[in-house]
Amino acid sequence: MIDTSMRSWLDTIFLAFLAIVVGAVVGYASLGFLWAIHWLHELLLGANGTNLYTQLEETSRLYLFFLPVIGAVVVSFIIKYGTPEQRNHGPADVIHAARLDKGYLSMRAGLVSASASIVSIGSGASVGRYGPVVHLGATLGAWLAQQLKLTQDRRKTLLACGVAGAISASFSAPLAGVVFAHEVVLGRFGSKSVMPIVIASVVATTVADMATTSGILFMLPELHVAHTWEYFLFALVGAVGGGLAVIFMSMMYRSNQLVQRLPVSTVTRALFGGTILGAIIVIFPQTFGLGEQVIRDALMLELTAGVMLALVFAKLLATSVSFAAGFAGGVFGPALYLGTMMGMVVGLGVHEFTDAASSPAVYGVAGMGAVISRVIGAPIATILIIFELTGSYSLTTAVMVSVVVGGTVTRDFFNQSYFYHQLRERGIEPDESAARQSLQQMPVSTLMDKVPVVLRADMNLAMARRALIEQSIEVAYVVNEQQQLLGQINVLKLLEMNDGHLQTQPVSKFLSEPTVVLEENMNVLEIFSKLKDFVGVNIPVVTDATSKQLVGVIYASKLADTYLQILEKARQDEH
């Protein structure tokens, strides 16, 4: 026999092994995703990576105009026929699976959404690559857990391992990957999940570092904060960046709302949106695709302030149109772009007044952090990404100020993040406690018992009295021939009626209304909201408010026991 201690060690080793597998697979999947984008750019434009935007300048304007139009139509067919819900899946779905669902993610939806995102970015859509990679990584982790028939807790842990691996492989930032998985996806830090998530994050980073194709977004020059008085300016950058993030999220939401109201097919929507995007790209080729080289050029001071300011407006419009057209992708990349351009404009403006200030790139990175953290709702992970990319404590403090101020100033506008907004638009509350989530997911039928005694409306009081005394029941429910609940009668009331004439009267004349009546389609959380005025042993359950057919009862003691068990499980999960 294996004792409890040994079993615990074996479980830990097994989970660590699975984390290694997930980290390695997700690391290669992240690099494969980037490779596929580069391959598509090479196929369609004859260049990729650092040479892409130089090639765009030499590409026919007509070709650039029609490329996103064709891409939008292709993506619309991929999503329409590839996913059951006929929509793109992303980080919001990962958050829902980890917090409110049972850790399940569809492999089909993961692969289709990744494919749609590759085609979107390859054809010029102004979207990001990090959201799709996070969803793909989470899907791979959840799929492995599902194939091994692991428990719900372990499914969620491996899902989070996939998220951490995706972030760490994309930025070579293992610490940020760990924090992102807890801060954004799980919504909490738990001792049980830390070990496997750390392992997966480190393994994914190692895979990325060993690969010839780097997943790092950009390499920053040596940066530092020159003077302490500049922290007031970083706070200003944070406030402006937070406001820019709110405008960015609002524009995406409003444009999607507008398109959804139009009585047109998805193909027509794609053609219309692709045409507008094509026109934007012809005027501003820098808005094509990810824009990573444009970010590098801005940080290296190769763009003027006027160009960068124009690109802020162009990128806002291009990204909103891209999502409204039905393109698939993430919001992290566009947020990076917008934040960098905005911060660089402020930094160059500061240098118009004094050359003693820090490099404009410092302001660019501070702006980047302010916009990203507000859009994805992950201030700590954002700060850590910057720190791991730069290794500069001084620069990280500037980002901390901008991130905190940006979040504080704009916290009452829009949602906590764009992912939260997407979930709430679907009627899902991501911040519900684990106990509330469990109660909400539990249907009434799981706690329902058979009705101990059912009285017919035409029974006389003597028969009803005898039935209740024999079964030792305090309250009995009365139904008609169609099994519809008419009311209830109390045994104490029956015992008080000793008049012989009354004993022959039908029980239906002496009914009272039940304090609470539940419906079969309710969940347990809804039951607790109805128990304010309830006093008794059990509660009747009917099919629905119209038919009122009695199908069972729920005992108050069973409800209390279930609630205590859920609270205990939630407490254990947090540790």
Give the per-residue pLDDT at 497. Answer: 65
Q: What percent of the chain has pLDDT over 90?
A: 42
H-run or E-run covering 15: helix 4-45
Domain 437-573 in CATH 3.10.580.10: yes
Answer yes or no: is pLDDT of 359 > 80: yes
Mean pLDDT across 509-525: 79
Least confident of 209-218, 356-365, 532-541, 553-562: 209-218
Least confident of 126-140, 345-359, 548-562: 548-562
Mean pLDDT across 74-81: 92
Give the per-residue pLDDT at 220. Answer: 65
Answer yes or no: is pLDDT of 357 > 90: no
Answer yes or no: is pLDDT of 3 > 70: no
Answer yes or no: is pLDDT of 215 > 60: no
Between 425 and 220, residue with greater pLDDT:
425
Q: Highest-confidence range of 199-203, 214-218, 453-457, 563-567, by mean pLDDT?
A: 199-203
Phi, psi of 568, deg, nearest 5: -65, -40
Least confident of 72-81, 96-105, 347-356, 441-450: 441-450
Q: What residues have CB less than 8 Å from 381, skipping those under 6 apart?
A: 167, 176, 179, 180, 183, 184
Give the per-residue pLDDT at 214. Answer: 47
Give the per-residue pLDDT at 221. Answer: 64
The boundaries of every CATH 1.10.3080.10 domain in the chain are 4-210, 230-431
pLDDT tens column, 293-325: 899 899 889 999 999 999 999 999 999 999 999
**C-alpha 362, offset from chain centre:** 31
Q: What percent of the chain has pLDDT over 70?
A: 90
Give the per-residue pLDDT at 316. Answer: 96
Answer yes or no: is pLDDT of 490 > 60: yes
Give the per-residue pLDDT at 35. Answer: 92
Mean pLDDT across 224-248: 92
Answer yes or no: is pLDDT of 396 > 80: yes
Least confident of 52-66, 132-146, 256-270, 534-548: 534-548
Answer yes or no: is pLDDT of 83 > 70: yes
Q: What residues have CB less than 8 Å from 520, skipping those under 6 apart?
A: 444, 445, 541, 542, 543, 544, 551
Give the per-residue pLDDT at 554. Answer: 83
Give the per-residue pLDDT at 547. Answer: 81
Mean pLDDT across 168-193: 84
CATH number of 4-210: 1.10.3080.10
Phi, psi of 352, deg, nearest 5: -70, -25
Give the per-residue pLDDT at 571. Answer: 64
Answer yes or no: is pLDDT of 251 > 90: yes
Q: What residues have CB less than 8 Å from 421, skipping those under 6 apart?
A: 249, 253, 414, 415
Asked if 396 contacts 383 with a C-beta cutoff of 8 angstroms, the reply is yes
Give the per-residue pLDDT at 287. Answer: 93
Give the per-residue pLDDT at 212. Answer: 58
Mean pLDDT across 2-9: 68
pLDDT band at residue 477 using 50, 70 and 90 as cut-offs: confident
Q: Closest by alpha carbon to 570, among 445, 440, 443? A: 440
Answer yes or no: is pLDDT of 197 > 60: yes
Mean pLDDT across 116-122: 95
Mean pLDDT across 212-226: 63
Q: Which residue has the tokens 């039905």?
A: 326
Phi, psi of 543, deg, nearest 5: -60, -50
Give the per-residue pLDDT at 249. Answer: 94
Q: What span, in angstroms and rounded, lies between the C-alpha atoms of 566 and 223?
A: 50
Give the per-residue pLDDT at 566. Answer: 74
| pTM of this prediction exceeds 0.85 | no
Give the per-residue pLDDT at 219. Answer: 61
Asked if 342 contacts 363 with a C-beta cutoff of 8 angstroms, the reply is no
The first and second tokens of residue 35, run together, are 């490779």
The boundaries of every CATH 3.10.580.10 domain in the chain are 437-573
CATH number of 230-431: 1.10.3080.10
3-state secondary structure 293-338: HHHHHHHCCCCCHHHHHHHHHHHHHHHHHHHHCCCCCECHHHHHHH
Least confident of 20-24, 178-182, 291-295, 550-554: 550-554
Mean pLDDT across 248-264: 89
